[in-house]
Structure 1
Amino acid sequence: MIKTLVILAALAGFDLNADLLQLDEALGKAAEYSAVHERRIQAAEHDLATDRPLTDEFRYEVYGQIYDLSYAFQYDRALEALNNQEQVAARMGRDDLLIETRLRKALLHCTAGRYAESMAVSERIDTAVFTSDRQLYLWYEYQQRFCRDFREYNHPGEGGVLDERAGFYRGRLIEYLPESNFLRQTMLLTELIEQGNHIGAGEVGSGMLARYSEDSHEYAIAAYYMGVLCREQGDFEGEVHWYIKSAIADIRSATKDNASLYCVALSIMDRDIARAFRYTQAALDDALFYNSKLRPGQIAQNLPAIEKAYTGMIKRESDRRTILMLLISLLVIVLVFILLRMLSYHRRLQEAIAALSEANAAKEEFLALFLSMSSGYLDKLRRHLGREQMEEELKAFYAAFDNAFLQLYPAFVEDFNALLEPEARVELKKGEKLNTELRIFALIRLGVDQSSHIASLLRYSVNTIYNYRAQTKAAALNGKDDFEEQVKTIGIRHN
């Protein structure tokens, strides 16, 4: 009974305002944490970039280090490390290492939402030739993760065979892994939550939180499940507190394949819509950087909830009936538009999974969608904000677009300048990422090529947009006739 009271006390009395300020501070340093993590990966890669002869055993070990650093940071990099490991294991004739590498590859594909690729790898694995407990545990982990995620993403709210299989493999991991093993602790915590054993789950989760550093990926996972536990108990403050703690740990550990930040956004959207919108943008940036198919889809599925929160905010702030009715009408139109785009994306995503192909166009679509949402959001704010506040919102809008676009096409400025005469090339000021001219042609690269549409999005007149386009085309290196078509091909070789 005393232990129960201690656990309940630990989940109460949170200062969410202080928690959110800590999360904002961590987000402000996210680029620094990512840069530090990037240097750690590069240091491991540097160990292989040498003229001295290296043994295959050493290469296999270093590729494993690169994978461990990349699996929650950047999918493509982690996959490349596993591909290299697989080649080395085959060259050494080590079937045991080959099996382990393929098991990790199947799990990585599953984590990134690439279920068809994951199944293709797992079908090449013969469990009859397993020679170690480690291989068996990796197989259990993969099967548990695949059944859970595939059901949750494709058939949310349903149970059935996949849930039963996930529970079976989760039980195997709990039974056979050592008690101190992190994966076993996570499986046990999940099992207790699903069974409704909140006290037992609280004990396990509290033990995990005490065991791991608040800057670690393990702490982020434990805190996330504590948030889930609080949600099951109807404890809103506890839920948001632990999601925030998890999100902070994700940021500090440079975990880009994360869920907690968006959970925070969903939890606070009816209380602090501006913050929720900012967190949603940051979550999408992480998902695009990681190159996940799963996370962007999940964010898109919840966009109507964000839009509903906008409606609630406007209702509370506006006391003029006519304006209120107009805003509701506009929001309904936007909601229908978002729902149609979301359904269209979901259908394309399923087709892409079935065809085993990459959906690079989905990245551009998400960027265009968020650009349209942000533009509409600014239109609504214009009625309530002063000139200086509106200018600050526009700066934030441009910065968000610049960052998201340059993540998709990091070499855009250089490639764009390569199409122009030397004397006409764009020179950015200190601190600038894109300027007006570059934003216009960035939108053209995304398929927005009507001057009226570009003018609406960037808050310029149609004549201004036309003049920019004409002046730039006149300075084209290879003639102006097909200049914009060349712009539309920028980045194809990089993506």
Structure 2
Amino acid sequence: MRKLLLYVLLLLLPTTTFAGSDTEQLRQKLDKLLAHRNSLINAKNKDIKRLKRYLTTNGNAINHLQTYEQLYEEYYVFQFDSAMTYLDKGIQLSQQIKNSYYYNTNVIRKAELLSIGGLYSEAVNEIEQVDTTLLDRPQRFEYYFSLFRIYTYWADFCNDKTYTPTYRERAKNYLTKAMPYCDETAKSYEYYCGEYAVFVLNNHMEARAHYLKAIKQLPSSSRYYAMACFALSGNYGSEGDTEKQEEYLLLSSIGDMENCTMENFALQNLAMYIFEHNKDELDRAQQYIQTALEDARFYNNRLRIIEISSKLPAIVSSYQQTLNQRNKVQMTAIIVISLLLLFLLFAVVYIVKQTKRLSLQQQKLQLNNNQLSNLNTQQKQLNTQLNDLNALLVDTNRKRERLAKLYIDLCAKYIARLKKQQTLVKRKIKANQTTELLSQLSSERLSEEDAATFLSRFDKAFLDLYPDFTEELNNLLLPDGKIQNKSNDGLTTEQRIMALIRLGVKESSEIADLLFYSPQTIYNYRSVLKGKAVNKETFEEEVMTLCRVIGKSNTN
């Protein structure tokens, strides 16, 4: 009946407001988690039992210390006494085997845990046992950051003008010492930077930027994610942005629920926020503060129990008053509902029409989104093609550089040979050995060496530039006329002739000079190849169109 009344009252509003729908979804998610609280706790206990079974199956001391550490992590914000138990076991075992690393780690964590339980002086005494000279960088950070938390909790507990400023100043100094040892690669780094910005720099805008970065980088299942959200709620709340304050309180509470964090602060703050800003949902506030109290008892945090107990009566009293008022409203609503039935009918028709209009708008929006998605896909394809072309251009430039080097090498070689030959000629003429000179210059061996060198380098350069040339040339020939290469690194005479034509050398006399053949021989080769072509009349024109795009080289 109460829900029906609320629905009717919503219909009486002149316009429908959808603002805060995200916040409402977060509320629903939190309520679902609260409804399945026992299942989450049971799953947590199963993980813990699995770790405990591992202790009974392995007698290695280091493995035991590692398992104690894992059990502490599971119990840290889940159950105070159990977390303390495994810290003490870790301290005792590390002393027995004289392992300073695990001893210092467990002592530091025990000190912080004592401060959570309100034992501040005991926490300071405990952490003073640590020999800081034996700490590595992560331990140094944990050491100073634990001291920061101890004095922060102590300052919050005192809440006076005498001790609180002193403890806050100590906390600030320890946080300043901790930050140089903070791992900048860790996902929690931005959270720690936010803490530094708040407590040391007193810069709330910078802190907000760090916390926002932290929640983007951290998984929502992380405890640091919940802590960053809680810090953001306070950040926005200090500026009067109550919507953001509630949103991040909800996110922090959801994170605590998912992690089975019994030592939580967000849920009770959320209850007080609802109590102060939304009197219409006092039943929700009462449920949250009651759950926070149960969690504090489960965790066995005496200070948190006292703190929540001081807030609970005000919420319960207001909740009871609200229930009485609602009962009166329900009686009145029974009479009003009968008068509103006709209006309700018109309202339903109006809502249906509005829903259809919204549906059409959503369909149009979906169509526009699909078109935009297609355009984005096309743009990505074009970008990919552009990148491929750029890479191809870079590869082409590299090949041209190699061709230039090859050209320079050949020129240098033939200049050196000409110099050597010039020296030889001068010497022979001076020695009146013209006959021997003429015989030496007429030797075919020299010409064959030059030809072999040129042709080998020509083949290498051309195939480097056009690696697919032989395959594309064979595509222009009939099946029984295709040219078979004896070597992957060289060209046949027919392929060299076609390669020169591809490069723009068309005259048989020029080709003959370059390949050390007679023009008639070159003409004969060209005629034979035309006879084997698929299109005889346009064969050489087609050769000149081969390899329009320079392929990527197989060598660097």
- How does the TM-score come out when normalised to structure 1? 0.57
- Matching of residue 84 in structure 1 with residue 93 in structure 2: no
- CA deviations on 1:161-192 (whole Å, 9 max, x unpaired) are 11111111112222331223456433321333
Instruction: Decide which of 287, 294, 298 is 2:307's aligned counterpart.
Output: 298
Instruction: Give distance in 1, aligned partners of 2:146 and 2:261.
Output: 20
Give deviations 1:83-109, integer Å, cap 9, x for gaps. Answer: 111121111112332122111111111
- Please tell me the residue identity of whatever aligns with 1:235: D
- RCO greater where, 1 or 2, for CA within 8 Å and sep 6 or more? 1
1:14-53 equivalent positions in 2, closer than 5 A: 15-50=22-57
Judge conservation of contact 2:115–2:150 (CA < 8 Å) in 1. Answer: yes
Larger radius of gyration: 2
| 1:420-468 Cα deviation digits (max 9, x unpaired) | xxxxxxxxxxxxxxxxxxxxxxxxxxxxxxxxxxxxxxxxxxxxxxxxx
Give the direction of change, closer, same or farther, for the CA distance of 1:318–1:43 in structure 2 (3 Å limit).
closer
Aligned twin of 1:57 = 62
CA distance in 1, matches of 2:20, 2:281: 20
2-side partners of 1:384 and 1:92: how far apart?
Answer: 76
Which one of 286, 291, 295 corresponds to residue 286 of structure 1?
295
The answer to whether structure 1 residue 313 and structure 2 residue 341 are counterparts is no
* Contact 1:173–1:184 (CA under 8 A) maintained in structure 2: no
Helix, strand or coil for the counterpart of 1:257? coil
Alignment identity in percent? Answer: 24
- Aligned residue for 2:142? 138
User: Displacement, 1:218?
Assistant: 1.7
Aligned equivalent of 1:174, options 159, 170, 179: 179
Residue 210 of structure 1: aligned partner: 216
User: Using the alignment, how far apart are the partners of 2:332 and 2:308 within structure 1?
Assistant: 28
Q: Match for 2:126 among 107, 121, 124?
A: 121
- How far apart are residue 142 of structure 1 and its match? 1.8
1:245 aligns with 2:251: yes
Closer/same/farther in 2, CA of residues 20 and 308 from structure 1, 3 Å limit? same
CA shift in 2, pair 1:145/1:207, >3 Å: same
Equivalents in 2 of 1:318, 1:26: separation in Å? 29
Q: In the comparison of the two structures, how many residue pairs are matched?
A: 311
Map of 1:366 onto structure 2: none
- 2: CA distance, partners of 1:176 / 1:99: 16
Q: 1:193 to 1:235 in 2, by over 3 A?
A: farther
1:390-442 Cα distance to aligned partner (Å, 9 max, x none): xxxxxxxxxxxxxxxxxxxxxxxxxxxxxxxxxxxxxxxxxxxxxxxxxxxxx
CA distance, structure 2, for counterparts of residue 131 and residue 145 of structure 1: 19
For residues 312 and 198 of structure 2, the distance between their equivalents in structure 1, rounded to whole angstroms, comes to 27
TM-aligned CA deviation for residue 280 of structure 1:
0.9
Q: Is the 8 A contact 2:187 2:217 kept in 1?
A: no
Contact 1:214/1:220 (<8 A) preserved: yes
The superposition leaves residues 195-243 of structure 1 with CA deviations (integer Å, 9 ceiling, x where unpaired) of 5534322321111111122222121111111111111121111111111
Q: 1:304 to 1:384 in 2, by over 3 A?
A: farther
**Partner of residue 224, structure 1:** 230
Q: What value does the CA root-mean-square deviation take over the aligned residues?
A: 3.0
Amino acid at match of 2:158: N
Contact kept in structure 1, 2:140 and 2:181, CA below 8 Å:
no
- Contact 2:286/2:319 (CA < 8 Å) preserved in 1? no
Q: Which residue of 2 aligns with 1:266?
A: 272
User: Residues 219 and 156 of structure 1: is their aligned pair in 2 closer, same or farther, counting only changes over 3 Å?
Assistant: farther
Q: Which position in structure 1 is the counterpart of 2:528? A: none
| Deviation of 1:154 (Å) | 2.3
Q: Return the alpha-carbon distance in structure 1 between the equivalents of residues 74 and 172 of structure 2.
A: 29
Q: Distance in 1 between matches of 2:272 and 2:285?
A: 7
Q: Runs of 5+ in structure 2 lacking a partner?
A: 1-18, 335-556
Residue 107 of structure 1: aligned partner: 112
TM-score scaled by structure 2? 0.51
Maintained 8 Å contact 2:142/2:178: no
